[in-house]
């Protein structure tokens, strides 16, 4: 069956460290993968998109990698800040459309 797995346990890190979140998928052939941030009581906010033929994308303190052989994406936040505390969701689309399938999300807590 198709699955998108993110670490369901919260990730606690110290301010200034790099946070690394994992997204693994099975039985999908995604055209691209996206990462979103969601704060309590709010809708997800888009962060980064990476296509199937791209290995890495960066945006300010954020970096995402995409390994279609391992069927895995890693999301990194460098120099993390307490304001980065939120739930991070990965989502993929097999058809390059607007039909996203989301992972369960990982809650990140950055402590000062």
Partner 1 sequence: KAGVTQTPRYLIKTRGQQVTLSCSPISGHRSVSWYQQTPGQGLQFLFEYFSETQRNKGNFPGRFSGRQFSNSRSEMNVSTLELGDSALYLCASSPKAGDYNEQFFGPGTRLTVL
42 or 112: CB nearest partner 1: 42
Could you tell me whether strands 86-93 and 72-77 are parallel, antiparallel, or unpaired per DSSP bridges? unpaired
How many angstroms separate the CA atoms of 78 and 91, rounded?
21
36 or 110: CB nearest partner 1: 36
- Among candidate residues 101, 106, 64, the one with its CA nearest the CA of residue 89: 106
How many angstroms separate the CA atoms of 106 and 97, rounded?
24
CB of 41 to partner 1, least distance (A): 8
Among 1, 27, 42, 60, binds partner 1 (CB under 8 A): 42
- Binding range to partner 1, per CB under 8 A, among 9-17, 30-38, 55-63, 67-75: 30-38
């Amino acid at each position: 069956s198709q699955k998108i797995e993110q670490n369901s346990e919260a990730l606690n890190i110290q301010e200034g460290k790099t946070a690394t979140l994992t997204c693994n998928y099975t039985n999908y052939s995604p055209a691209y993968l996206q990462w979103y941030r969601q704060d309590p009581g709010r809708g997800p906010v888009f962060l980064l998109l990476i296509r199937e033929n791209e290995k890495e994308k960066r945006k300010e303190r954020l970096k995402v990698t995409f390994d279609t052989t391992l069927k895995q994406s890693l999301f990194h936040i460098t120099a993390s800040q307490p304001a980065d505390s939120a739930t991070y969701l990965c989502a993929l689309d097999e058809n390059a459309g607007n039909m996203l399938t989301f992972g369960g999300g990982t809650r990140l807590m950055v402590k000062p």
